[in-house]
Amino acid sequence: MKTNYDLVVIGGGSAGLAAAISAYDHGIKDILLLEAEAHLGGILLQCIHNGFGLHEFKEQLTGPEYAERFANQLIERKIEYKTDTLVLEIKEDKTVIYSNKEDGLVEVKAQAIILATGCLERTRGAINTPGDRPSGVITAGLAQKYLNIDGYLVGKRVFILGSGDIGLIMARRMTLEGAKVLGVAEIMPYSNGLNRNIVQCLHDFNIPLYLSHTVTNIIGKDKLEKVVIAKVDENFNPIKGTEKEFQVDTLLLSVGLIPLNGLLDKVNVPTHPRTRGALVSQNLETMKEGIFSCGNVLHVHDLVDFVTKEGRKAGYGAATYLKGKMHKKGRRIITRNKSGVSYVVPYYIDVENILDNLVELNFRVTKPFEKTRLIVKLDDKEIKNIFKLHMLPSEMESVLIEKEILMNSNAKEITLEIKEG
Amino acid sequence: MKEFICIVCPRGCKIRVNEQGEMEGYGCKRGITYVQNEMTNPKRMLTSTVKIKSKIVNRLPIITSSEINKDDIFRVMEEINKVKVEAPIYIHDVIIKNVLGLGVDIIATRTIRE
């Protein structure tokens, strides 16, 4: 069995597929891609709704269609991959330990690694919901897998906590399959989902959205019997007297996603306190040379098209590294988020290794903004002042910085902030 | 008075229409067109799954070949739920031809070889 590879890609979802394909197209042929599930495609396989690919293909595809296009590209290139294969550990010397039924426990040595393991749903424990602990409380993505892959409807009367896109999509999906969805509660005063999902998943089926509301009690001895929600004040504390009760057998949680980053623990790669992804350069290289990270394991995306784009960038970065074309690390410009910006990816610009003429900075805003300006500064010097008609926390934003400006500056920091008015 | 959230762009304008058909709250002309379509002839793509006999999965994802009237969604769901197919199925295979005579096919969105 082959135990040496130029590149090992961990994860066969949208990020990993794009990364492997891109590395191949940039000249790296000795690649192994490892996927934990039985099929390539990752979470897209259970996202049977359409709307994927508007940026990538200028058409609307369903999740499985989008996944199949990239899986086919991997197979056409004869890139080696293994499914049903779980990576247990990455070591500092870039040894990857995986196991599967056919090969058993295997150690392979990689020259470079791309981590593309996606993210996990936050569960009830993460949000400290009070009340009983009956069955029937389940994350929205897991309910989606049961329904769309396995064919089981998890309940007949449903309430949903959190207005993230998965929750909204599941409100429609369960309604179509005959369940009654009584409402969606969102603790923020605005929805965390895309507008088109609010309209086509809730309004189309007259499902109420309770903004500034949260679940304050979960009642049921063995099976869930009812949930209680209440309005919250500006500090997110429930307001007495505003409670509403719903008789339901299912509470779906759509309360955020966390990068699945455990494999980096043993490699001592620092992570970002806000995104919980690795700290990376614009080439998506972590603080450990030759280890790259992309997709939802780096930061949670709202559109798969952007995951694909990021995967490609990691593949390009890894290929450049493997060909020995990365320069010795020199000056770094650290990215900083100031008022109105909740985080910036990448964490720093590796100035000696800017591979394209433009460096893309991705960021999210802290709240909805209308008619504001995005200000980009290199240390104290303003280099961009861009009018933004509207920005939402649920939609990732980006700004492009010219390589020349970065090369000709001695700045230590690049700062993004939103100026109102 | 009816209220719509425009989904043409991320701004999500709240557009109100009164009994005379006059609109307010739109940020651009695209909002007017959006609301006119929603008022007269709202259409949606429908995605779901059908049962499949396969070694690896229980459900085959499907989609309508074009948009259907919003009012037909549940009738079409009933037809979809009557179907059971057997692997192999290839992406974009027709699963139901001309469902309910609407001039729209139900097609597979995934290849399931075995």
Rounded Cα distance, A302 and A164, in Å: 10
Co-location of A174 and A95 in the same domain: no
The structural domains of chain B, ordered by start, are 2-40 (no CATH), 47-108 (3.10.530.10)
Give the mean pLDDT of B10-30: 86
Q: What is the DSSP letter of B48?
A: E
Chain B neighbors of A390, CB-CB under 8 A: 10-11
Give the mean pLDDT of A323-327: 91
User: What is the ipTM score, two decimals?
Assistant: 0.90
Asked if the model's pLDDT at residue A38 lies above 70, the reply is yes
Give the mean pLDDT of A252-272: 91
Decide if A176 and B73 are in contact by the 8 Å CB cutoff: yes
pLDDT at A133: 94
The answer to whether A236 and A187 are in contact (CB under 8 A) is yes
Does A200 contact B at CB distance below 8 Å? yes
Distance in Å, alpha carbon of A301 to nearest chain B alpha carbon: 16
Chain CA centroid to CA A5, Å: 27
Asked if the model's pLDDT at residue A421 lies above 80, the reply is no
**Which CATH number covers residue A131?**
3.50.50.60
**Cα-Cα-Cα-Cα dihedral of A363, A365, A368, A371, to 10°?**
-80
Query: Which of A326, A356, A374 marks a domain boundary?
Result: A326
Which of B4, B12, B110 comes nearest A64 by C-beta? B110
Domain of A367?
A: 330-421
pLDDT at A328: 84
Q: What is the DSSP letter of B28?
A: S
Which of A149, A195, A203 comes nearest B59 by C-beta? A149
Q: What is the DSSP letter of B112?
A: B
Could you report the per-residue pLDDT of A188-209, keeping only the tens digit for each?
Answer: 998 888 888 899 999 999 999 9
Distance in Å, alpha carbon of A392 to nearest chain B alpha carbon: 8
Co-location of A322 and A334 in the same domain: no
Run of H or E residues at B36: helix B29-40
Which of A60, A148, A391 comes nearest B49 by C-beta? A148
Co-location of A54 and A99 in the same domain: yes
Co-location of A303 and A318 in the same domain: yes
Distance in Å, alpha carbon of B61 to nearest chain A alpha carbon: 6
Instruction: Read off the amino acid at residue A239.
Output: I
Decide if A389 and B11 are in contact by the 8 Å CB cutoff: yes
Co-location of A174 and A318 in the same domain: no
pLDDT at A194: 82
Co-location of A89 and A34 in the same domain: yes
Per-residue burial over B75-108, b = 16 or more CB atoms within 10 Å of its CB, e = otherwise: ebeeebeebebebebebebebbeebeeeebbbbb
Query: Which of A220, A255, A290 marks a domain boundary?
Result: A255
> Tokens representing A179?
């369940």
Co-location of A384 and A280 in the same domain: no
Chain B residues with a Cβ under 8 Å from any Cβ in chain A? 4-7, 10-12, 44-49, 51, 56-59, 61-63, 70, 73-74, 77, 91, 109-111
Dihedral angle sign, alpha carbons of residues A151, A155, A159, A160: negative
**Number of domains chain A is built from:** 3
Rounded Cα distance, A157 and B74, in Å: 18
Co-location of A287 and A360 in the same domain: no
The answer to which of A124-128, A130-134, A205-209, B61-65 has the lowest mean pLDDT is A124-128
Co-location of A43 and A152 in the same domain: no
Distance in Å, alpha carbon of B20 to nearest chain A alpha carbon: 23
Nearest of A242, A320, A243 to residue A284 by alpha carbon: A320
pLDDT at A149: 95
Co-location of A112 and A261 in the same domain: yes
pLDDT at B10: 64
* A328 CB-contact burial (10 Å; exposed 0-12 / middle 13-18 / buried 19+): exposed
Query: Which of A278, A293, A326 marks a domain boundary?
Result: A326
Could you report the per-residue pLDDT of A153-173, keeping only the tens digit for each?
Answer: 999 999 999 998 899 999 999
Which of B58, B70, B73 comes nearest A151 by C-beta? B58
Confidence of residue A129 (pLDDT cuts 50, 70, 90): confident
Could you report the per-residue pLDDT of B40-93, keeping only the tens digit for each?
Answer: 889 999 999 999 999 989 999 999 999 999 999 999 999 999 999 999 999 999
Q: Tell me which of B63, B70, B71 to substitute to probe the interface with A (most A C-beta atoms closer than 10 Å).
A: B63
Co-location of A145 and A240 in the same domain: yes
Co-location of A172 and A285 in the same domain: no
